[in-house]
Structure 1
Amino acid sequence: MAYTLDFGTPVNTALLIYILYSVQKIVFPSTSIPKTVPSEFKHGYSWMPKEHPPTVLFKTYTPKTLEPFNGKNGGRILLAINSIVFDVTAGRNFYGPDGMYGNFAGRDASRGMAKQSFDLDMLTAVDQPLDKLQDLRPDEIENMKGWIEHFSNKYVICGKLVENDAA
């Protein structure tokens, strides 16, 4: 049985024209460059962001070199949990100078995160050796690991924290 193409009906003709038009758009896409940078979604995400996010390099930090990254004066905010340094600048409302976790900015937050405490006595002085966390209970260690997992899924890991004399 042989089939023939019948262009006699308007539906077939319209369908053929639509198919040809679609194929033409795929084979010969528009290459015109817009005169201005679009600022809203119309035909896909094709515009450039207002600014490129700052490049983050993986570095080794000590408590002293981590301390300046406390978010004051609009600067970057870093904090460490169990020797992993996270860039939490995107969470400035939480970790910035006026945020509820602001005392962890630029510091080793391991003990405070493990114990769910914002108290200043959870922080080791920057001129002291790193907190070895040896007295933490298993549930506190699990809590700290939960925070590490949460931060790893939300913020950029940008370094590791080592002793002051090991940098």
Structure 2
Amino acid sequence: MSIASPINLILLSLFAVVIYLQFRPKAPVSLPKGPAPVVYRTFVPTTLLEFNGEGERGVYLAVRGRVFDVTPGKNFYGPGGPYENFAGRDASRGLAFQSFDKEMLTEDLHGPLDDLKDLEPEQVENLQSWEERFLEKYLVVGKLVAEGDPEAPKS
């Protein structure tokens, strides 16, 4: 019996194919693109208003001076959602009163921010509960200051 028998040649060929498949160059692994980086910034009510979820914009809202990116909850906070009034606005008073009416929003966007000093203890507790929920769920992307505040962005 010869070493170069047909069966040995087939086995050797099969072995060579298996070795090639095991050690051949593989395509480089490509990672999926992550979201664009978010830069922490200072907002005034008029610049926050741009982030109301219309078109391809994100949805931001403020709670006690913190601006949250609630875009992952766009179906709640964006256009057509139950909390859409809060998109691009300071939602603090509405959350404290557990009311989603437009009357809870500050009318004068160029005036001072709502200091919330007239809230009852139960309303303060409501607001803290909402704020904790937002901190657990959403990214803080900035802070809200009044127009004319020394920290306000220059236009």
How far did 1:31 drift? 9.4
What's the counterpart of residue 6 of structure 1?
none
Could you tell me how far apart the structure 1 residues matched to 2:142 and 2:26 are? Answer: 41
What's the counterpart of residue 8 of structure 2?
none
What's the counterpart of residue 134 of structure 2?
151
TM-score (norm 2): 0.76
How far did 1:127 drift? 2.4
What's the counterpart of residue 102 of structure 2?
120
What's the counterpart of residue 89 of structure 1?
71
Q: Among 58, 62, 76, which residue is 1:76 paired with?
A: 58
Q: Secondary structure at the match of 1:164?
A: coil
Q: Among 130, 136, 146, which residue is 1:163 paired with?
A: 146
Could you tell me how far apart the structure 1 residues matched to 2:25 and 2:110 are? Answer: 56
Unmatched segments (≥5 aa) in structure 2: 1-21
CA contact (8 A) 2:69 2:141 kept: yes
Q: Which runs of 4+ in 1 moved over 6 A?
A: 30-33
What's the counterpart of residue 31 of structure 2?
48
Return closer, same or farther for 1:115/1:32 CA change in 2, 3 Å cut-off: farther
Could you tell me how far apart the structure 2 residues matched to 1:143 and 1:31 are? Answer: 62
Is 1:135 aligned to 2:127, yes or no?
no
- What per-residue deviation string (whole Å, max 9, x for no partner) do you get for residues 63-107 of structure 1? 111110101012111100000100011110001011111110000
1:74 partner letter: E
Return closer, same or farther for 1:133/1:32 CA change in 2, 3 Å cut-off: farther
CA contact (8 A) 2:46 2:110 kept: yes
1:156 partner letter: L
Could you tell me how far apart the structure 2 residues matched to 1:56 and 1:163 are? Answer: 22
Q: Secondary structure at the match of 2:42?
A: strand
Q: Secondary structure at the match of 1:165?
A: coil
1:79 partner letter: L
